[in-house]
């Protein structure tokens, strides 16, 4: 899921941990983290500047609680009491810390973690069990079954790994103690404060227990790993039982993934990407790479700058983006991404993630064939 606001500089993984994902080529961290012990206050250091665990004593946390209560029309005492029970988790802060310089991204290694026999078998079982629901989601939104299956498979292996961190701990840790070493720490801390507000407003306003829900180290929840703001905006009651449940209802998860991608302008029938090659004599890589993964070039514009397209790509009526996938010390891989490729990156700000979703969905679809 989309964990951070987009950045024009992001070609590497992002549900903010995308850079970390590529560095370690693994799934989002879901292991239970140990509680962080209280640190003594050093002379000349304000309590508000120290990492948790007691957010009930943090002036910045208390002010945020009061602001949330005012904006959401909640009892300020209850909001303070709830936030006071959040705990700093060092493993969460470590998970979003930028990887060491010099760690090479590797698409082939990254892909192998997602497009592999365990996930493919689980995807086949999920597709077979929920065939009618998946087909209904495709009919209503235009998002293909294999893309929906790919997303849920990459995110949680179809519900097998939905995360073991308390959501309140993840959001509080990243809202108030986002690692200062990160180059965009201020922006990301602000993002997580908005997610914390969404979460507290949603749980306290609906009678849910904000201390009970668990998710990823970034606070993403359920089979599709929706952040609180995405749950509020895009989650749907697809099983018609009167409640939205992305944890216990595969139907709601299926419908919500499809609804999310539709909201980000999924175009039915449009391929996600095309193969390409380069004409070295005309190649203008600097211009081609400048827009990042945003589709910007017409087919003719692509060709003018040294990209060679064939087959159905030549008749593509929309815009294209040059998608680069680094392979460690080996040559990078490239594809021509369409608006539908870009739509998948709105779920998670990463071209690596998007292609893993596409490839896993295709592998499951192939395994479904007799």
Task: Measure the CA–CA gap between 326 and 60, rounded to whole angstroms.
Answer: 41
- From the list 138, 155, 195, 197, the catalytic residue is 155
What are the residue ranges of helices labelled H in 73-166? Answer: 76-84, 90-95, 107-112, 117-129, 131-141, 145-156
Task: Measure the CA–CA gap between 37 and 57, rounded to whole angstroms.
Answer: 15
**Degrees to nearest 5, angle at CA 39 with 36 and 40:** 165
Each residue of 269-282: b (16+ CB within 10 Å) or e? eeebbbebeeeeee
Find out whether 218 and 170 touch, Cβ atoms under 8 Å: yes
Q: How many helices (H) and strands (E) does the chain have?
A: 16, 7
Tokens of 310: 């064939």
Do the strands 273-274 and 277-278 form a parallel or antiparallel pair, or are they unpaired? unpaired
132 catalytically annotated: no
Task: Measure the CA–CA gap between 27 and 152, rounded to whole angstroms.
Answer: 13
Name the strand (E) or helix (H) holding 250: helix 250-263
Residues assigned a catalytic role: 155
């Amino acid at each position: 899921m989309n964990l951070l606001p987009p950045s024009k500089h992001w070609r590497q993984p992002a549900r903010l941990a995308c850079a970390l994902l590529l560095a370690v080529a693994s799934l989002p961290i879901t292991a239970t983290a140990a509680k962080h012990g209280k640190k003594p206050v050093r002379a000349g250091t304000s309590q508000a500047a120290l990492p948790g665990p007691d957010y009930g004593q943090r002036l910045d946390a208390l002010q945020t609680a009061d602001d949330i209560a005012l904006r959401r029309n909640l009892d300020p005492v209850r909001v303070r009491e709830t936030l006071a029970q959040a705990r700093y988790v060092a493993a969460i802060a470590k998970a979003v810390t930028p990887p060491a310089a010099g760690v090479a991204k590797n698409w082939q290694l990254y892909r192998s973690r997602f497009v592999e026999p365990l996930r493919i078998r689980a995807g086949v079982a999920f597709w077979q069990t929920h065939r009618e629901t998946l087909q209904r989601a495709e009919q209503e939104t235009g998002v293909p079954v294999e893309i929906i299956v790919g997303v849920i498979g990459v995110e949680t292996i179809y519900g097998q790994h939905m995360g073991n961190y308390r959501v309140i701990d993840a959001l509080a840790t990243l809202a108030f103690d986002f690692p200062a070493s990160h180059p965009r720490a201020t922006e990301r801390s602000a993002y997580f404060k908005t997610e914390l507000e969404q979460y507290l407003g949603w749980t306290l306003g609906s009678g849910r227990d904000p201390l009970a829900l668990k998710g990823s180290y970034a606070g993403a929840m359920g089979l599709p790993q929706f952040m609180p703001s995405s749950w509020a905006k895009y989650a749907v009651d697809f099983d018609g039982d009167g409640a939205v449940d992305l944890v216990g209802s595969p139907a709601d998860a299926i419908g919500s993934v499809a609804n999310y991608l539709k909201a980000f302008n999924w175009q039915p029938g449009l391929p996600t990407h095309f193969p390409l090659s380069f004409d070295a004599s005309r190649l203008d890589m600097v211009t081609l790479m400048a827009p990042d993964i945003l589709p910007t070039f017409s087919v003719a514009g692509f060709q003018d700058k040294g990209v060679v397209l064939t087959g159905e790509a030549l008749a593509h009526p929309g815009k294209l983006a040059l998608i680069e996938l680094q392979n460690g010390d080996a040559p990078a891989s490239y594809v021509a991404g369409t608006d539908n490729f870009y739509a998948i990156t709105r779920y998670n700000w990463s071209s690596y993630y998007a292609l893993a979703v596409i490839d896993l969905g295709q592998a499951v679809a192939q395994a479904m064939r007799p």
